[in-house]
Amino acid sequence: MTDLPVLRLRPKSKPQAIRHGFPWVFADEAVLDRRSRNIPAGGFAVLEDAERNAMAVVTVNPQSKIVGRVMDADPQAVIDGGWLSAKLARALQMRERLYDAPFYRLVHAEADGLPGLVIDRFGDAAVIQPNAAWADRMADQIAEALVQVTGVTTVILNGQGRARGLEGLEERMEVLRGHTPSEPVAVPMNGATYLADLLGGQKTGLFFDQRPNQAFAQRLAKGATVLDVFSHVGGFALAALAAGAAHATCVDGSAAALDLAKGGAGRMGAADRLETVQSDAFKAMERMAEEGRRFDLVVCDPPAFAPSKPALDAGLRAYERVAKLAAPLVAPGGYLVLCSCSHAADLTAFRNVSARGIGRGGRRGVLIHTGQAGPDHPTLPQLAETGYLKALFFRLD
């Protein structure tokens, strides 16, 4: 028998949701008495329904709106190094079936049974993002299991971002195993070469989630002129150049990210076909429209304008503005790709504001393809937040 404390559901809560795979217990669904509030953030407990039937092992954070996260459906499970290794081995097995090279998202939080934990792999290095208190507390054990299961020699903890703040966690960045990388890591993807700064870049250094959407964009890019707005390290631009685009322009506010884009283009022998523009994206699109510039393929992949429900209305207005400004930059018969990584904005809402923005930009078009994140970012059907990425491909008149 386990000697863990108990977190109990309120009588009017719906335990069947947990039994059917929903991984979260919200604070208003649980009995938060003196004992449960004294469970340390990131500690473990047995989740019981109102009739005191054991349901699962959960990690508890009394300071979070998500007071409990399901770790294991077995109430007798022990969350230790062996448990972690088994979860990582299962995640690794699927990625090795999917990809020929070890560059991918290895762990996608709840969808891989490791709530709040993200791990991206870059060959012999891995970057972990412990966005839940339990993962932050067990970061060293996670790193040890990661080395044993995958053989990576460098493990970096990137403890930054909005999600950690919601869990009451402080920001931190450190190398848990191995040595600090002396230079950006070269990442092969879709025939392109990207440079990922594992310590100083955004998130873990590179966005693997757009891989299938960049591959689809490559079908439209041969011989084309391409504009990649909010380009980061050149995600769509470098993919287009690898597919034979005549020229690509990256627009981003970060000089460091654009330098990495130029470095990637240089590794590919395509430096002479890449232009970079450091600028606010909205101002850059307005300026290009005034200059009469047109591109065969325009891609806009902005940050999450609607990271939460309270930000939804403002976020949707921002996405509509992106579409309005981008549409006039597309040559007649060209293509416009609009992306959203906001889980609060569902596909229907994002598609509607994108179409409205295109219309406000004086253009009309048809939707030819809808993309999502790659299979290394699996979606937990019970948790919409895991299916956050949307990519809309339009052909404009």
Triad 210, 215, 216: Cα angle to 5°? 100
What lies within 8 Å, CB to CB, of 103 at 6+ separation is 121, 122, 123, 187, 188, 189, 208
Task: For residue 170, give the DSSP letter.
Answer: P
Closest CA to 126 of 148, 106, 109: 106
Pairing of β 66-72 and β 24-26? antiparallel
Contact 324, 281 (CB under 8 A): no
The residue type at 306: A
The region that residue 319 occupies, defined by phi over 0 for left and psi between -120 and 50 for alpha, beta otherwise, is alpha
Task: State the virtual CA torsion across 334, 314, 108, 209 in degrees, nearest 10.
Answer: 10
The residues that bridge with 188 in the sheet, in sequence order, are 193
Query: Residue 192 phi/psi, 5° resolution?
Result: -100, 165
Indicate if 250 belongs to the active site. Answer: no
The C-alpha atoms of residue 115 and residue 68 are separated, in whole angstroms, by 10
For residue 341, give both structure tokens.
């990584």
The residue type at 122: F
Query: Residue 243 phi/psi, 5° resolution?
Result: -90, 0
Catalytic site positions: 341
